[in-house]
Amino acid sequence: MKAGVIVSGTGAILVLTACDSFEDPNVADSLRGKGMDKYIAFEIPVDEVRAKYGQHFSVTLADRKQSDACRVVDVDGSRIFRNFQLDVFSRPICHDETVIHRKAA
């Protein structure tokens, strides 16, 4: 399991995924279903998320309405940034489905 902060035009959310990476197409598909086709993802230590969110972390994992590809733990970007130091954020993973790829002439 991986934890990550997803930053998009509407703010930041904290998610869990069973995928091996936030670059996995299943994560992108799940986020697209939430209206996010352009975002920056930062992996953070799952143990820190578990420690900060306690019972809510467990409830999120047990929620059958959410996909294993992307389980939302928190949608309050302000709280997320208060809970975690920036030095625990991984390198940014950028995803942009709005880019039009053009063939060279």
Give the C-alpha separation, 82 to 84, whole Å. 6
Q: Is the pLDDT of residue 99 over 90?
A: no
Q: How confident is the model at residue 100 (pLDDT cuts 50, 70, 90)?
A: low
Task: Show the domain range for 57.
Answer: 2-96
Confirm whether 101 is domain-assigned: no
Segment 25-40 mean pLDDT: 93
Confirm whether 67 is domain-assigned: yes
Give the C-alpha separation, 19 to 87, whole Å. 23
Confirm whether 103 is domain-assigned: no
For residue 82, the model assigns a pLDDT of 96
Confirm whether 49 is domain-assigned: yes
Sign of the C-alpha dihedral computed for residues 28, 31, 36 and 42 taken in this order: negative
For residue 85, the model assigns a pLDDT of 96
What pTM, to 2 d.p., does this model score?
Answer: 0.89
What percent of the chain lies above the pLDDT cut of 90? 86
Number of domains in the chain: 1
Residue from 98, 89, 76, 101 nearest 22 by CA:
89
For residue 2, the model assigns a pLDDT of 96
